[in-house]
Structure 1
Amino acid sequence: MTINDVKETLGARYVIGEEWKDKEVHTACGSDMMSDVLAFMKDQSVLLTGLCNLQVIRTCEMMDIICVVFVRGKLPDEAMIEMAKEKEIAILSTGHRMFSACGMLYEKGLRGGPTYNE
């Protein structure tokens, strides 16, 4: 799946990053807790979140996440957009709630990676 496939599946819009639309994504994660993202995400992933602050972009940079989808119509501020541009992280926004957006991507074959076992 590509970033553009994510956009089309979710009926999202690009905030920035349309020039990276053909980059491949292999897994996705839906979370507002960046500590969980740090613990469980893999390279070339999509992060779905309702958390809208600079920490989201910093986390993406650390985990090689190439696309952030803000759910519930949330939009980043200019500082977030600038940082994401520098790091070549695409930002999308969708009106869907996180649960629905994750389910839509799952239906299209995007998975969350290995199962966590205690």
Structure 2
Amino acid sequence: MTVNEIKEILDAEIICGKDCADKEVHTACGADMMSDVLAFVKNQSVLLTGLCNPQVIRTSEMMDIICIVFVRGKKPDQGMIALAEERGIVLMTTSHRMFSACGMLYENGLRGGTKC
């Protein structure tokens, strides 16, 4: 699944990284605790989260997450956007709740890993 397909499925808005919309995403993780994300050892993933702080970007970089979707309409501040742009991470926002957003992606064929 591509980042652009995730955008369409979730009716999301791309905040930064539009030039990476054709990147492939292989797995997904929905979490608000970054320790759970660190236990999710997969690359080329999308992270769905309601946590909106710079640590989300830093954790995603360490885990080779290429796209972060902020659920419940949350939007990152300019500092987070700049950090994501430097790291080449796509940021999106959707009005859907995490449970619904994860279900929508699963229903369309995107699967998670074994630990998240």
Q: CA offsets per residue over residues 42-91 of structure 1, 9 Å max, x none?
A: 10000000000000000000000000000000000011000000000000
Aligned to 1:112: 112
Aligned to 1:66: 66
* Post-superposition offset of 1:41: 3.7
**CA distance in 2: counterparts of 1:54 and 1:42, whole angstroms:** 21
Aligned to 1:98: 98
**CA distance in 2: counterparts of 1:86 and 1:28, whole angstroms:** 22
Q: 1:3–1:22: 8 Å Cα contact kept in structure 2?
A: yes
Aligned to 2:37: 37
Q: 1:29–1:41: 8 Å Cα contact kept in structure 2?
A: no
Equivalent AA in structure 2 for residue 53 of structure 1 = N
Q: What count of residue pairs does the alignment treat as equivalent?
A: 115
Equivalent AA in structure 2 for residue 58 of structure 1 = R
Runs of 4+ in structure 1 displaced over 3 angstroms? Answer: none
**CA distance in 1: counterparts of 2:41 and 2:18, whole angstroms:** 23
Structure 2: which 5+ residue stretches go unaligned?
none
Give the fraction of aligned pairs with identical amino acids, expressed as a percent: 70
Aligned to 1:54: 54
Equivalent AA in structure 1 for residue 30 of structure 2 = G
Secondary structure at 1:14 match in 2: strand
TM-score, normalising length from structure 1?
Answer: 0.96
Taking only aligned residues, the RMSD between alpha carbons, in angstroms, comes to: 0.7
Structure 1: which 5+ residue stretches go unaligned?
none
**CA distance in 2: counterparts of 1:4 and 1:25, whole angstroms:** 10
TM-score, normalising length from structure 2?
Answer: 0.97
* Post-superposition offset of 1:40: 1.2
Equivalent AA in structure 1 for residue 17 of structure 2 = G
Q: 1:47–1:67: 8 Å Cα contact kept in structure 2?
A: yes
**CA distance in 2: counterparts of 1:77 and 1:91, whole angstroms:** 11
